[in-house]
Amino acid sequence: MKYDKFFSADVGSFLRSPVREIFKKVDLASIYSFAGGYPDAATFPIDDVRRISAQVLDRYGAKALQYGATQGLTELREVISARYGVPMERVQITTSSQQGIDVCTRVLADPGDVVLTSAPTYLGALQSFRSYRADVRTFEDIGDDFSKVKFCYVIPDFQNPSGETMDLEQREALVALAREHDFLIVEDCPYRELRYSGEPVPTIYSLAPERTLHLGTFSKVFAPGFRLGWMFGPEELLDKVYVCKQSLDLCPPILDQYLAAEFMGSGALDANLQKSIALYRGKRDKMLALLEKYMPAGVSWTHPEGGLFLFVTLPEGFDTVALYDRALTAGVAYVAGSFFYPDGSHRNTMRLNFSFLDTARMEPGIRLLADVIRSASPL
């Protein structure tokens, strides 16, 4: 039976994640992987989860297993509201911040509408934008015509994949641009709490609460398996997100929301975050030192103040897509940087994750990667 005739027009624009395809091909535990965006499992508060699960079931009983409100659990919205100083009415819980990105795109973008993004940018966001047939444009190629821009998508803190952080001037300039041309801003902040050096910069949401949808997540400060995130935004926008979410999945998972509320509200999150930051700071520093030690001349990389990634640029003419199979055979994995560019350019770049691999395995991994690069010639 042929199925092609049944598919909606959107399906033709679906973008398969090359990252997830990499994971299918290879057992990451068997190689030195700088490819994924996985947190270090050592940061997962298993004992807290065990303790809090029992508490929540005792305290809330059947309520923790029943259907719940589409906006999310009041208890969870309260602790998020208190932590970030955003009124309850402006807090919507999402079933992952990936859902946050997707639902924003759904509610805002028609086919052909422009979504403005930095380049490189998060692949999962590109997947969402493409899947709704939005016209994805970068700051480099937008020119002067902002008339079809519905929203701009940015990850201002320790960006995925670049590791770079927008300073206050850049944030203010973006807000001024958005106000001038009347477009919205989707601010994705999965890594914001993972700062290892430097000073925090105000969120874009705090600079322009009237036109910013801010996305947060528990994935990097609790555990990604819970698939819980949140969204701040103007009530008029959140109302549409709310109605959309009714038909998307009715409500976020309830027991998980109670766990997250208790984890955040009790102070356990902050205690765990301190440990995570210390661990990741060490890993970042180690990674930077190893790159310095092993990478051949002409290779450069970013110096992130937080997050999980840094971005490496090889000399012009290198092709990290072509190099990938050789790297995998040698036993080391990365993600080709061109996957993060809407136009597939910058084939001489790669994203390296420094959160997942055990510290002890970083040195042989980077040495191997440097060897692979050294053995390759520019095309």
Question: Which tokens hold the place of 301?
Answer: 């990389």
Nearer to its own copies, 151 or 294 (CB): 151
Nearer to its own copies, 38 or 142 (CB): 38
- Smallest gap, in angstroms, from Cβ of residue 362 to its own copies? 19
State the Cα–Cα distance between residues 100 and 231, nearest whole angstrom.
7
State the Cα–Cα distance between residues 92 and 125, nearest whole angstrom.
19
State the Cα–Cα distance between residues 121 and 127, nearest whole angstrom.
11
Nearer to its own copies, 124 or 337 (CB): 124
Q: For the chain, list the strands marked E by DSSP.
A: 32-33, 91-94, 114-117, 135-138, 149-154, 184-188, 212-217, 229-232, 300-301, 309-313, 332-333, 335-336, 349-353
- Smallest gap, in angstroms, from Cβ of residue 146 to its own copies? 13
Nearer to its own copies, 246 or 329 (CB): 246
- Smallest gap, in angstroms, from Cβ of residue 241 to its own copies? 10
Nearer to its own copies, 81 or 355 (CB): 355
Residue 139: count of CB within 10 angstroms of its CB: 13
- Smallest gap, in angstroms, from Cβ of residue 161 to its own copies? 16
End-to-end CA distance of the chain: 44
- Smallest gap, in angstroms, from Cβ of residue 29 to its own copies? 11
Residue 321, amino acid: V
State the Cα–Cα distance between residues 194 and 163, nearest whole angstrom.
12
**Size (the chain), residues:** 379
- 3-state SS, 17-60, equals CHHHHHHHHCCHHHCEECCCCCCCHHHCCHHHHHHHHHHHHHHH
- Smallest gap, in angstroms, from Cβ of residue 92 to its own copies? 14
Nearer to its own copies, 169 or 236 (CB): 236
